[in-house]
Amino acid sequence: MNIAAVILAAGLGTRMRSRLPKALHPIAARPMLQHILSAATEVFDRAVVVIGPEMPALQRAADPHPVVVQTERLGTGHAALQAAPLLEAFAGDVAVLYADNPLITPETLRRLAAARVGAGLALVAMRPADPGRYGRVLTNAAGEVERVVEWADATAEERAIGLCNAGVICAPAASLFRWLRAIRNDNAKGEYYLTDIVALARQAGERVVVIEAPEAELRGINSRVELAAAEAAVQARLRLAAMEGGATLIQPDSVTFAFDTRLGQDVKIGPNVVFGPDVVVEDGVEIRAFSHLEGCIVRAGAIIGPFARLRPGTRIEPGGHVGNFVELKATVLGAGAKANHLSYLGDAEIGAGANIGAGTITCNYDGVNKHRTEIGAGAFIGSDTALVAPVRVGARALVAAGSVITEDVPDDAMAIARGRQANKAGRGFRGKGVKA
């Protein structure tokens, strides 16, 4: 099948009350535009994104797909026409999709493409619980589409129709752009409606067919409220997939996933755990309550949390333990190693079986550059130790509690780096007005 997609993403998102272009607002830690591009690229051979002027961040989000700019926002038909220089000579079909309609699935897009075969135009419709201000799809006795009428232009009888237009259409490239050029803007809003090509296709004697898809896939997102509803729908889908894949979620509704979270079997996830992008969790891991993971790998059998934070570049090897109020960034925690309490480990390599005492920190930043800390296998770092990078603590070495380590510690050595304690008799509070 030779088919391309035009994705309309020029909307400002005025109702979002945001400086961020609407298509960049995230769902499950991924911009809406990238959700629809992901679905489209599973079905279509190529995609062109239509953006508004001065939207460099949106252009970057569309990469590597080509972008065209709609300099004036004159309606959806006008926006789709901007892709003509790239696709008008395309020898195949073109579908028009929307960046603010990011939940449509590849399966629905495949059904749309298949429906177009044998018809001049195919479109997607739904039957929402509240039809509201959606455009209505008018069909004939044979079930073919006669026309689509926008809510603002519809009669009371037409507004009573339950079949609503989702705006997604598919037609041969040459026909699509010919019809787009013929659209007029003599309507209530003075805009060029993409849906007017339905009437033009009928006038040309073409069959226009419709497929129906669930409202949950086709909801438009124009406000923060609708964005939150879409986030909830995606999270429900991701939680279900996680549990069906063999993970246990103690309190499913409290767990937040990213679009690309990957979980192994027999993973146990406690309440209020948050996954940012690019997290891989292998079999048999336990992630306890209120932990936050992003850009990290957790190998089999590890235990994380509660209240742990794993930042990008972190890898927890099999059987590693990361406890409460411990933060790791760009750090490898070796197999069976433990950091169980109140520590920051940044830019570090920690060997297998090492033990990191409570309150330990790696001082990895000197104000200009980041430096690494190496801790050997089986080393023991006493509580409240500061490791001033770059520094290496050898295998099986012992660092005494309260030390500030600024020099390398050899294998099997003990390091003590703290001021000597001195007790001064009679210098306490007795005799200074403090009762015994």
Which tokens is 317 given? Answer: 């090897």
Contacts of residue 104, Cβ cutoff 8 Å, sequence gap at least 6: 36, 39, 97, 124, 168, 213, 217, 218
Q: CA 73 → CA 31, 55, 69, 80, 359, distances in Å?
A: 22, 14, 10, 11, 57
* SS3 state at 260: coil
The conformation of residue 216, written as its DSSP 8-state character, comes to H
> Which 8-state DSSP code applies to residue 256?
B
The SS3 assignment for 159 reads: helix
* Residue spans of beta strands (DSSP E) within 305-390: 309-310, 314-316, 321-324, 327-329, 332-333, 338-341, 344-346, 348-350, 355-356, 361-363, 373-375, 380-381, 386-388
Backbone angles phi, psi at 107, to 5 degrees: -60, -45
R_g of the chain computed on alpha carbons: 30
Is residue 65 part of the annotated active site? The answer reads no
Question: Quick one: which of 196, 5, 194, 226 has its CA closest to 100?
Answer: 226
Helices (H), 82-172: 84-87, 106-116, 156-159
Q: Tell me the two tokens of residue 78.
A: 């006008």
- Pick the catalytic residue from 78, 321, 341, 371: 341
Q: How far apart are CA 334 and CA 329, in angstroms?
A: 14
**Which residues are 414's β-sheet partners?**
398
- Kindly list the catalytic residues: 341
